[in-house]
Amino acid sequence: MAVKAKTGSTAVKKTVKPAAPKPAAEKKKPAAKKSAVKKPQTKAAVKKAEKKPEKSAALDPVFLTEYDRYLFGKGRDYKVYQKMGAHPAVLDGKKGWHFAVWAPHAKAVSIVCDRNDWNPEANYMIPLEKSGVFEGFIEGMEEGEAYKYAITTKKGDILYKADPYAFHAELRPANASKTADICGYTWDDQKWMKERSEKNTFEQPMAIYEVHLGSWKKYDKDDKDSFMSYTDLAHELAEYCNWMGYTHVELMGIAEYPFDGSWGYQVTGYYAPTSRYGTPKEFMYMVDYLHTKGIGVILDWVPAHFPKDAHGLANFDGEATYEYADPRMGEHPDWGTKCFDYSKHEVLNFMIGNALYWYDEYHIDGLRVDAVASMLYLDYGRKDGEWVPNKYGGNGNLDAIEFFKHLNSVIRGRKDGAIIIAEESTAWPKITTRPEEDGLGFTYKWNMGWMHDFLDYMKLDPYFRKDNHNKMTFGMSYATSEKFILVLSHDEVVHLKCSMINKMPGYEVDKFANLKCGYFFMFGHAGKKLLFMGQDFAQYHEWDENVELDWWLCDQPLNRGVLLFVKDLLHIYRTHPAMYELDDSWEGFEWVNADDRDRSIFSFIRRDRSKKKSLLFVVNMTPMERSDYMVGVPAKGSYKLLLDEYGAVDPKGVKQAVYKAEKGECDKKDYHISYPLPPYGIAMFEFNG
């Protein structure tokens, strides 16, 4: 589910922290100024707030031009963040910072900060005609200073709000925005970006390592707030991912959020990389460094909803601004959050501009869009009478549909290899079809149906697996209907769902054997791949955002066996196009025997475009030895064993590495090979054909 309830590896060496921009010193504002709502002290103050300032050079709208405001009002300013928010500027020859905020229902807006002692009457902003935008300038303002907007509502209340377009924020529990200049970073990833634009993503390997930075590793594992910096994380992540063989990292919770337990899925600062790990430019360094080491970067992105925190977007100017006014559309009953109003051009511009901001300013390679189903269905999580049908009487959110088509058309139009992924848990059609063909236009879709069937099967005692054989074969019946990513994400190892290893049946040694069988089947199946951190070395306990992974387990024999098995699997995956090149085509997959339910054995073939380096997969999902096992093969010739239940097979080792096909019908094929299949046996063969 999209929204989360409140609730020292031997393979990784410590690296020296690179030179990088240092975070500005935190500035503390007086406690008395932190309240979310404040009444003006006098009627004179209210009149002053409503009074249009005298015209002067400093008050002319010289930063947001009439054309800027026109584009913003039409939802077509894809660089909106370059004018909205806070930016260093020069006015009348004087240096300072320019501020712009959209607050269409406000009587008045002012900038409050340390420089004016958080006084809402000190720095009023100018309303720009017919746009709902307020603009201001503070002379002498410098980078790293905390600020908010003091918004006078129609009722005369004053709301203290963080800047929706801020590039940086205070470290929680403080919640003010901070001035930050994101210009001037020198990128070293030109080679990566050029090659990315030239590749067809669908024909490339994609093995994603999903990571929560705050709990992957800590400086002090006993201190939940001992967050590593973006710069240190960059080095250690790159080293680990390359050693293991992952192609991408997917980062949870990068946009600023106030509550650790939300994991970053209840965002208050959509344009601000969280200050938990450093500054915006330090995050740029992280992406840049990963790129130079050959690792792609995907961010989780949450355009579905936002929290009700007083300093955030909810009732931003005293009324429904970013959310729908009707609570039947504007609030999500399950999560206690607000839903974006996709019918407003300014909101669309905020969201589309935000997506493009991460691609353009931080060079990220993809966005994984959280909770897509909750956006598409008006009745998602709602009972009868709690939702409003669309104009055709249906339950589809027409505004959200158009939002996705618009956004994804823009991303596809970039033609630079950028991708966008949908976490969509229903059978909504054409998720990855082009908008021109009435699709939503995503690059990939998380295969949630496969994940549920796979886990249901793997949790079963092997005795009962024969009666649920179809759970493992059904996924191939629709594998070409979308461009899929097979996922075993963080959602599957929290809230009493058990860790991956503890989902497995049997005694301890059986659990580890089962887990290897599951990973083997997953990597052989059509679709790109995603594993959540800790799953690759069979961490025992459920994931906890406050606790570092149990890296010490990598030295334990059974855990290290899984780690090295997954490592071998990943490296074979990356070097054998048959495992990824034709993921969305029936030319790339063939069942050898999908019906061996009584023995719970699965066998299938994966092929690349050349059909010269094909792979045969065999997996025994029971603890029963099959010493007389034979599997049908398409032609005579040699079948080279690449991997078994212990990992990659050394041709010089004791085990026979090459098997000759024998004449004789098996699995409706004219040839077969004999392979003694041990309990929970695994075999991957390479052959020509």
Contact 396, 448 (CB under 8 A): no
Please give the distance of CA 187 from its chain centroid, rounded to a whole number.
Answer: 23
> Hey, is 513 helix, strand or coil?
helix
Inter-axis angle of helices 190-198 and 280-292, nearest 10: 60
Tell me whether residue 174 is exposed, middle or buried, using C-beta atoms within 10 angstroms of its C-beta: 0 to 12, 13 to 18, 19 or more. Answer: middle
Q: What is the Cα–Cα distance from 599 to 620, expressed in whole angstroms?
A: 8
Question: Which position has the token pair 């409050």?
Answer: 112
- The answer on pLDDT for 3 being more than 60 is no
Band the pLDDT of 48: cuts 50, 70, 90: very low
Write down the pLDDT at residue 399: 95
Q: What is the Cα–Cα distance from 272 to 264, expressed in whole angstroms?
A: 12
DSSP 543: P
Q: What is the Cα–Cα distance from 373 to 267, expressed in whole angstroms?
A: 18
DSSP 55: P
Tell me whether residue 519 is exposed, middle or buried, using C-beta atoms within 10 angstroms of its C-beta: 0 to 12, 13 to 18, 19 or more. Answer: buried
Q: Identify the CATH number of the domain defined by range 586-687.
A: 2.60.40.1180
> Hey, is 549 helix, strand or coil?
coil
| Nearest-10 Cα torsion for 458, 460, 465, 469 | -50
Give Rg (Cα) of the chain: 28
Tell me whether residue 375 is exposed, middle or buried, using C-beta atoms within 10 angstroms of its C-beta: 0 to 12, 13 to 18, 19 or more. Answer: buried
Question: Which position has the token pair 């004087």?
Answer: 94
- The domain 31-178 having CATH identifier 2.60.40.10: the answer here is yes
Domain borders along the chain are 31-178, 586-687
DSSP 429: S
- The answer on pLDDT for 8 being more than 60 is no
Write down the pLDDT at residue 129: 85
Q: Average pLDDT, stretch 62-78?
A: 90
Residue 308 amino acid letter: K
Looking at the DSSP bridge assignments, the partners of residue 488 are: 531
- The answer on pLDDT for 177 being more than 90 is yes
- The answer on pLDDT for 26 being more than 80 is no
The model's pLDDT over 198-239, given as tens digits with 9 standing for 90+, comes to 999 999 999 999 999 999 999 999 999 999 999 999 999 999
Give me the sign of the Cα torsion angle 272, 274, 278, 284. Answer: negative
Band the pLDDT of 62: cuts 50, 70, 90: low
Residue 299 amino acid letter: L
The model's pLDDT over 232-279, given as tens digits with 9 standing for 90+, comes to 999 999 999 999 999 999 999 999 999 999 999 999 999 999 999 999
Residue 395 is encoded by which pair of tokens? Answer: 């339950």
Question: Which position has the token pair 């010269």?
Answer: 612
Contact 633, 675 (CB under 8 A): no
Burial of 520-552, coded b for 16+ CB within 10 Å and e otherwise, reads: bbbbbbbbbbbbbbbbbbbbbebbebeebbbbe
Residue 506 amino acid letter: G
Q: How far apart are the first and last CA of the chain?
A: 42
Q: Average pLDDT, stretch 62-71?
A: 88
The model's pLDDT over 498-539, given as tens digits with 9 standing for 90+, comes to 999 999 999 999 999 999 999 999 999 999 999 999 999 999
Q: What is the Cα–Cα distance from 538 to 491, expressed in whole angstroms?
A: 16
For 357, phi then psi, to 5°, come to -55, -45
Q: Average pLDDT, stretch 164-186?
A: 97
Inter-axis angle of helices 508-524 and 448-458, nearest 10: 150
Band the pLDDT of 611: cuts 50, 70, 90: confident
Write down the pLDDT at residue 10: 29
> Hey, is 617 helix, strand or coil?
strand
Count the Cβ atoms, other than its own, within 10 Å of residue 402. Answer: 14
Write down the pLDDT at residue 5: 35
Write down the pLDDT at residue 27: 37
Residue 137 amino acid letter: F
> Hey, is 66 helix, strand or coil?
helix
Write down the pLDDT at residue 544: 96
> Hey, is 227 helix, strand or coil?
strand
The model's pLDDT over 535-586, given as tens digits with 9 standing for 90+, comes to 999 999 999 999 999 999 999 999 999 999 999 999 999 999 999 999 999 9
Band the pLDDT of 39: cuts 50, 70, 90: very low
- The answer on pLDDT for 359 being more than 60 is yes
| pTM attached to this predicted model | 0.90
Which has the closest alpha carbon to 89: 128, 125, 146, 141? 141
- The answer on pLDDT for 471 being more than 80 is yes
Q: Say what percent of the chain tops pLDDT 90.
A: 86
Residues labelled catalytic? 370, 423
Q: 586-687: same fold as 31-178? A: yes
Band the pLDDT of 654: cuts 50, 70, 90: low
Give me the sign of the Cα torsion angle 393, 394, 396, 401. Answer: negative
- The answer on pLDDT for 474 being more than 70 is yes
